[in-house]
Structures are given as C-alpha cells and as structure tokens.
Amino acid sequence: MGTLRMIDIAVNFTDGMFKGIYHGKQYHAADIAAVLSRAWSAGVQRIIVTGGSLEESREALKIAETDGRLFCTVGVHPTRCKEFEESGDPETYFQALLSLTKEGIEKGKVVAVGECGLDYDRLHFCPADVQKKYFEKQFELANATKLPMFLHMRAAAEDFCGIVERNKQRFCAGVVHSFTDSAEDRDRLLLFSNLYIGINGCSLKTAENLDVVRGIPIERLMIETDSPYCEIKNTHAGIKFVKSVWASKKKEKHDEQCIVKGRNEPCLVRQVLEVMAGCKGITDINQLSETLYHNTCRVFFPQDLDSAADALLAGSHVLDEKN
C-alpha cells in the first residue's frame, strides 16, 4: 500500500453499523478492531471520532480511550440542538458538555469542540432558530477550553459565516467538514484565515463538486471519510481517480477480512486522497498527503507538529543560515 501518512478527521464509530446493526437489525458482530487494523495498514496514523450530542460524545471518548491513535470531539450536531432544551435545563446540559470536554482534554483525547454548526437541509429535525442559538453557545465551549472547532455547514452559508464572524475571537481554528456546498460558499469560508475545509466522498460526487475542490488551496484542506457514510460510489465523478480498492462482501455474508459493501470505513480515506490528487492534477501523492497531515496536526495536534514536516518547511531557512 505504500507509506502514505493520513489522518481521518471524521469517523462516526458510535454508529450502530460498526456494531453490526443496520436499520435496527443485527447482521454481524461488532468489528471495530478489524476496521482499525485495515486503517492502520492503509497508512492512517490517527482518527478523530465525532461526537454529535452529549451522550454520543461520552461514547466517542470511551472509544477513543481504547487506542493511542484515536481521538474525539465533544459537541452537539445542529440537527440535535433540541437536546439542549429537551434536557429540561440547557445550562446544565452545557455544563455537562464542558466538564466532559475538560475530562477528555486531561486524558489527551478530546481535540475539538463539535460537531457543531448549521444544517438547513434538515430543519425537520431542528428549527433554524434553535440551531443558531446553540451553535453560538458552543463557541463558549471553544473559548473556555481553547480547543479548535469541528464544524458542519449545510445549505446555511450566510447565517453560518455571520455567526463565525461574530465569534472569530473566541476560537483558534477549525475545519468545516464534509463540505458539499458551492464555489461561492467555498470562497466565503476561505476568507476566514483560520478555517480549513474537510473533504470526503460526498464532496466528490459530481463534476461541479470536483471543480469546487480544485479551487481550495491544499494548505487549507483536510481529508476524512465521515464513515460509515459518504463512501465514494461507482456512480461518482471522482471514481475515475481511485486506485486503491479493497475486497468487499455484503453485510449478510460478513467477513472480517473484507470491507462491508455500502459501509464506508477509515481505510477508504486513501481513496479520498487519490481523488483529490487526481482532480487537482497532483502526481506526487506523498507530498499531498504530507501537506494534509501537517494541516491537520497544525489544528488538532499542535503539541506534536511533526518535526520532519517542520524541517521540510524550515529547510530553506536552514540553507540560508549555512551559506
């Protein structure tokens, strides 16, 4: 598989599919160990497990504690922001998020506040005013903990950018993950110098999507699977650039040596890297993966920014000093 280094910034390991449960029915045993083994073999160095509610964030932290290469987020997804009010006391719910975040930081596991933001495609789960109120509230979490933000924006660029602009002093950096919006929305996000854009299979479906990705500087990109969702399908525009494939079997014929057909998993972040390289006309995939790795460390793992990547960046200065 080669020695690429990748970080998958978005894996939903709390999802039932990784426990073998699909649409409420058990098809096979939990297989996270096999999924992780494939990821590490493919060159994945670290994985960020996403939390989308208080309870899910607790579970994400538990999962992250099982392996030194797993980390997680704590926050509330826009479609679940009603939980703040349904809990009976939004402030108590918020304080529970804060204490969980602090606990996770002490354990060296929580690396971001999120997944939070705005999703106007799914207002049936949570109305816009509730989403906006509790998106804004989660900047308090970022400000109190000094963590970066793991963000979600769907069909809501104007309100989203307005809230980020108002709160830009309250967070250090962030990534807008699973980006699928327009070139115009991309350009709005790129105006924030501390925001990066996360790309997965859903970001690479159409020729228009590929055009949008072409316009994102590699210094502002990260890669992710958002598994078990957002796989790159044979019908997607980006499929022509995919080089790495894994044997797959249907969930009914589960085999730990194979990926489950229709279930995305972290090893497939390598395909996202390949499509990104292909659509940008980049031939040196190793250099691209190093840049993305460095971008990700800069935001989520600043304490151990890879020294080799740093040396690479500083190389020209070293030469100057020697001359």
The binding site comprises 115, 152, 177, 226
203-224: b or e for each residue (b if 16 or more CB lie within 10 Å)?
bbbeeebbebbeebeeebbbbb
Cα–Cα dist 223/289, whole Å: 9
**CB within 8 A of 78, min separation 6: which ones?**
116, 117, 118, 119, 122, 126, 131, 135, 152, 154
Give the residue numbers of the binding site for a divalent metal cation. Answer: 115, 152, 177, 226
- 3-class secondary structure, 221: strand
Cα–Cα dist 217/239, whole Å: 21
**Token pair 């709005």 in the structure block, residue:** 188
Between the alpha carbon of residue 306 and those of residues 290, 292, 294, 301, 314, the distances in Å are 10, 12, 7, 9, 12
Cα–Cα dist 191/92, whole Å: 35
Q: What are phi and psi of 140, to 5 degrees?
A: -65, -40
Cα–Cα dist 232/317, whole Å: 41
Cα 218 versus chain centre, distance? 16
Q: Determine contact, residues 119/78, Cβ cutoff 8 Å.
A: yes
Q: Determine contact, residues 207/229, Cβ cutoff 8 Å.
A: no
- Tell me which DSSP letter residue 227 carries: B
C-alpha distance across the termini of the chain, in Å: 40
